[in-house]
Chains A and B, each alone.
Chain A
Amino acid sequence: MSILVDESTRIICQGITGKAGLFHTQNCRDYAAECGRNPAEVVVGGVTPGKGGTEIDGFPVFDTVEQAVAKTGANCTMIFVPPPFAADAIMEAADAGVGLIIAITEGIPVLDMVRARKFLEGYPESRLVGPNCPGVITPGVAKIGIMPGYIHNPGTVGLVSRSGTLTYEGVWQLGNEGMGQSTAVGIGGDPVNGTNFIDCLELFQADPGTDAILMMGEIGGNAEEQAAEYVKQHVTKPVAAFIAGRTAPPGKRMGHAGAIISGGSGTAAEKIKALEAAGIEVAESPADMGAAMKRAIEKAG
C-alpha cells in the first residue's frame, strides 16, 4: 500500500517537449519498466500547447490537458512548465479534472501561487503537490518527479520533506538501516504550496502500508510546529524528524524561497522544540535521520 501514487496512477507531463520535461518523463517511464510494469500504461503522454498531434520519443503530445485526459485517461500530471506559466498550468490541470497535480517547477512568483491555490479551492477533487519539489514516488510502483528511483526500496516508512537532495540523503540512510518507503513525498521549498505536512501525516496515518513516518523540515514558516501539534493529536505511528537550518542567519533566504527566518520566527530551534514536545524523535545531525527513524520505531515497540 501507499499514498497518492499506486497501480492506477496514469501520468502525463505538462511541458513534455522541454529538455527537462522530456528527460524526466523518460526516466519515469524507465522506472515503471524497472518495476516490471507496462510503462505505456504508467506514463501515457504529455502536453505542450501548439504541438498537439505530434509524438516525442513515443509519447503522444496534446495541446491541452483536457484533450490529454480525454484520450489517455490520465489522472496525474507532472508539471515542468517554465515559472511564468506554471501557475496557469496547475489551474488548467485542475480544470481538466486531474486528481494529482505535481508541480516540479522552481521559481513561480508567490502571488501566482496565491491565485492558483485560491482557484484550486473550487476543485476539491484535485490535489497539488509542490511547487519547487522533487515529486512523489511509491517505490516498486511508480515515480513522478526528478528523484533517482533506484535509491528507493519498497517498505513501510512514509517520508515527507520540504527538500530535494536532503530527501535522497534520508532515503539512502533508511536503506542503510534496512528500511524502505511506502511513499516518499516532496512537498517543496516554496512558501505557498499545495500539500503540506499535515496532509501527508493524515494520509500516512490512514495508510495500512505505512508503519512509521519520517518528516524532513527546514527553517521558515510554522508548518513543522503545526505538524507537531497534529502528530500529538492524531498520529499513533512512530514519527522521526530532521530540521535543516540550525546555523542559518535570520533574514537571509537559504536557497528555497520559503527557507527564511523572518522577524525572529521560523527558526530551527523553535521547530525542534515543538517536535520534541510532541514526542517525535528528532535527529540532531543530518547523518542521523535513518537511525532516528529506527529509534522511533524501537521506542514504539
Chain B
Amino acid sequence: MKIHEYQAKQLLAKAGVPVPKGIVAKTPDEAVAAFEELGGTIAVVKSQIHAGGRGKGRFKEEPEQPGVVLVRSADEARANAERMLGNTLVTIQTGDEGKQVNTLYVEQGLDIANELYLGCVVDREAGSPVLIVSSEGGMEIETVAHETPEKIHHIPFDADGGLPTFQAVKLAYRLGLPPNAVKSARKFLVKFARFVVDNDCSMAEINPLVVTGDGEMVALDAKVSFDENAMFRHQDFLELRDLSEENEAEIKAGAAGLSYVDLDGNIGCLVNGAGLAMSTMDLVQLHGGSPANFLDVGGGANVEQVTEAFRIILADDNVKAVLVNIFGGIMKCDVIVTALLEAYEKVGFTVPLVVRLEGTNVELARTMLAESGRDIVTATDLTDAAQKVVGSLSA
C-alpha cells in the first residue's frame, strides 16, 4: 500500500527522522496561509500524488506548470496553487492519463550542501532488509546502478538488531560528508532503518536525502509503501489509504478477495492461481491477442467471486472477449462450472466467452457446459483456448 509524501514525512517525523517543516494545503487560501506560517520568504509547493517524477511533470490543463515549484511570495504561492489544485499532473510514472492533484504540501526551503539517495528494501537473496545509499541524489537509483554502480552502497542489517551505529558512521565517511554532518547522519540512518522495520515498509525511499549548510541530514522527499500482509498489526495505516490514487477495478477486486491487475488489452482473463493467470496472459499474447487484465480467482472460486470477477472484467469497455482458464484440483471443475453458469446468468454476457477446463471431474463439467444451452465456447487445451478467444475477435 502506497501513501503520500506528506503522510510518509509525518510518520518519519514521529520516528525521530528529520524532515523539513511542512503544511498540507487543499485550497489556494490554505497554501497562502502555509507560506506565511513557514516564514513568508521562500517555500516549496509540492503536488501530492503517488507517482514520482513530479518536479519534471507538467499539468494537462496548465502545460507550463511543474508539479513541484519554488515560491517567493504569497501571491506566487496562491497563483501556483490555483494552477495545480484540481488539475491533472502527468509525470513519467503516471502514464498519459495523469493523476488529479487534490492536495498540496507546502514546505520550508532549505540551504542544501549535499544531495544523496537513500532507500531500503528487503533483499530476497540475503533474506534481510538492506539500506541502499548513493552519492547521486535526485537521480533514479536504477539509472545510477546502470551507469555508475560503484557509487551505490548496500548495507544489509538485522531486522531486530537494527543498523549498527558504526555502519551509519562508515557510510557517512564513505559518502564524503562534511565532518560537521557525521553525527546527524549517524542518527538519521539508524532511526530510518528502525522506521522501516517498525512500520513493515516494503519500500522506503528518500530521494533526495540532503545535508544542509549547517550539517543537518534531512529527508527532502519521501516515498513509502507498506507490506499489505502486515496490515493486521498496523490498522491505523488504513486511514492513510487514498482510494482516488488506485484503479477502481482493482479496489473492487480486492474487496471481493480477487487478485486483479488492469492491463491495456481487449481479452479479459479469469483464471485460478497466480502462476496460471500470468501464463494465460502470456498465452493470449503469444497467439496474437492482448490481455485486458490479470485475474486470479483463488482456490475457492464460489459463485459470488466468479460473478464479481465477470462484472469487473466486463466493466472494462476495452474487453471484446473473455477467456476462462481453470485447472481444477481440489476445487472440482463441475463446482466451478456451476459457479460459472450462475454468474453467466447474473451478469448477462454480450461478448464471446471461451472456457478451458482441465483437472478433477472435467468430463462432467464439460457436459454441463454443453448441455447448458448457453453460448459458451469450450476449448480442449491451452493452445486451442487461445486460438479460439483470439479468433472470436475477428469473427
Q: What residues of B have a CB within 8 angstroms of the CB of A88 in the complex?
A: none
Q: Which residues of A contact B330 (CB under 8 A)?
A: 23-24, 27, 146-148
Number of A residues with CB within 8 Å of any CB on chain B: 63
A90 to chain B, nearest CB (A): 13
Please state if B286 and A284 are interface contacts (CB–CB under 8 Å). yes
B135: Cβ under 8 A from any A Cβ: no
Q: How far is the CA of A166 from the CA of B294 in the complex (A)?
A: 14
Nearest-CB residue, chain A, relative to B280? A286
Q: Choose from A115, A161, A167 the contact partner of B160 (Cβ within 8 Å).
A: A115
Q: Cβ of A286 and Cβ of B283 under 8 Å apart?
A: yes
Which 5 A/B pairs are nearest by Cβ-Cβ distance? A163-B275, A255-B274, A165-B273, A166-B275, A109-B230
Report how many residues on chain B are interfacial, defined by Cβ distance under 8 Å.
Answer: 54
Complexed CA–CA distance, A248 and B232 (Å): 28
Contact code string B264-287 (vs A, CB < 8 Å = 1, else 0): 000000011111111111111110
Describe B's contact surface by its main secondary structure. Answer: mixed
Contact A247 B127 (CB under 8 A): no
Q: Which of A93-101, A201-209, A215-223 sits within the interface? A: A215-223
Interface centre among B281, B282, B286 (most CB of A within 10 A): B282
Instruction: Tell me, yes or no, whether B382 is within 8 Å of chain A by CB.
Output: yes
Does the CB pair A287–B381 fall under 8 Å?
Answer: yes
A165→B272 contact, CB < 8 A: yes
Whether A246 and B282, one on each chain, are in contact in the complex, defined by CB atoms closer than 8 angstroms, is: yes
Binds B, one of A36-44, A56-64, A71-79, A257-265: A257-265
Find chain A residues with CB under 8 A from B13 CB: none
Contact present for B125 and A163 (CB under 8 Å): no
When the two chains form their complex, are residues A223 and B124 in contact, meaning their CB atoms are under 8 A apart? yes
Q: Is B41 an interface residue (CB 8 A)?
A: no
Q: Does the CB pair B281–A287 fall under 8 Å?
A: no
Docked pose: A150 CA to B358 CA in angstroms: 13
Please determine whether A109 and B127 come into contact, CB atoms closer than 8 angstroms. Answer: no
Q: Taking A192-B124, A192-B127 as contacts, is the C-beta distance between A165 and B329 under 8 angstroms? A: yes
Q: Which residues of A contact B359 (CB under 8 A)?
A: 148, 151, 168, 172
B55 at the interface (CB under 8 A from A): no
A residues in contact with B14, CB < 8 Å: none
Does B349 sit at the interface, judged by CB under 8 A? no
- Known A108-B229, A114-B129, A244-B275; judge A249-B261 contact (CB<8 A): yes
Complexed CA–CA distance, A83 and B227 (Å)? 13
Hey, which chain A residues are within 8 Å of B328, CB to CB?
148
Judge whether B142 is part of the interface by a CB distance below 8 angstroms: yes
Counting CB contacts under 8 A, is A164 at the interface? yes
Q: Is the CB of B124 within 8 A of A258?
A: yes
Contact yes or no, A263 B278, CB < 8 A = no
B-facing residues in A1-53 (Cβ within 8 Å):
23-24, 27
How far is the CB of B312 from the nearest CB of chain A, in Å? 15
Binding site for B on A (CB under 8 A): 23-24, 27, 83-84, 107-115, 117-118, 146-148, 150-151, 161-169, 172, 189, 191-192, 216, 218-219, 221-223, 226, 242, 244-249, 252-259, 263-264, 268, 284-287
CA distance A27 to B273 in the complex (A): 20
Chain B residue at minimal CB-CB distance from A266: B124
Nearest CB on A from B325, distance (A): 9
CB contacts between A and B, total, < 8 Å: 174
For window 109-132 of B, CB contacts with A under 8 Å fall at 122, 124-125, 127-129
Out of A150, A192, A286, name the residue touching B279 (CB < 8 Å): A286
Report chain A residues within 8 Å CB of B224. Answer: none
Candidates A111, A218, A242; contact of B159 at CB < 8 Å: A111
Q: Which residues from B are CB-within-8-Å of A147?
A: 329-330
Contacts known (A223-B124, A247-B291, A259-B278); A165 close to B159, Cβ less than 8 A: no
Q: How far is the CA of A166 from the CA of B263 in the complex (A)?
A: 21
Given contacts A111-B129, A191-B124, A245-B282, contact A255 B329 (CB under 8 A): no
Q: Which of A148, A161, A164, A254 contacts B294 (CB 8 A)?
A: A254
Q: What residue of chain A has the Cβ atom nearest to residue B282's Cβ?
A: A246
Is A114 a contact of B200 with CB atoms below 8 Å? Answer: no
Docked pose: A268 CA to B279 CA in angstroms: 11
A172–B159 touching, CB < 8 Å: no
Residue of A nearest to B279 (CB): A286
Q: Is the CB of B274 within 8 A of A163?
A: yes
Complex CA gap A169/B274 in Å reads: 13
CB within 8 Å for A255 and B124 given contacts A108-B229, A110-B227, A287-B382: no
Whole-angstrom CA separation of A23 from B299 in the bound complex:
13
CB distance from A255 to the nearest CB of B (A): 3
**Bound-complex Cα distance A184 to B128 (A):** 28
List chain B residues, Cβ under 8 A from A259: 274, 278
Residues from chain B with a CB closer than 8 A to the CB of A242 are 279
The minimal Cβ–Cβ distance linking B8 to chain A, given in whole angstroms, is 18
Chain A nearest CB, measured from B245 CB (Å) = 14
A118-B358 Cα distance, complex, nearest whole Å: 40
Let me know if A114 and B127 touch, CB within 8 A.
yes
B47 in the interface (beta carbon within 8 A): no
Q: Which residue of A lies closest to B283 (CB)?
A: A286
B283 partner residues in chain A, CB cutoff 8 A: 285-287
Residues of A within 8 A of B128 (CB): 114, 118
Kindly list chain B residues whose C-beta atoms are within 8 Å of the C-beta of A23.
Answer: 330
Q: Which residue of A lies closest to B197 (CB)?
A: A111
Residues of B within 8 A of A218 (CB): 275, 278
Can you list 30 contacts pairing A with B, beta carbon distance less than 8 Å?
A84-B232, A109-B227, A110-B202, A111-B159, A111-B230, A118-B127, A147-B330, A148-B330, A148-B359, A163-B275, A165-B271, A165-B275, A168-B327, A169-B279, A169-B382, A172-B327, A172-B358, A189-B274, A189-B275, A191-B122, A223-B124, A223-B125, A244-B278, A246-B282, A247-B285, A248-B261, A255-B296, A263-B145, A285-B382, A287-B382
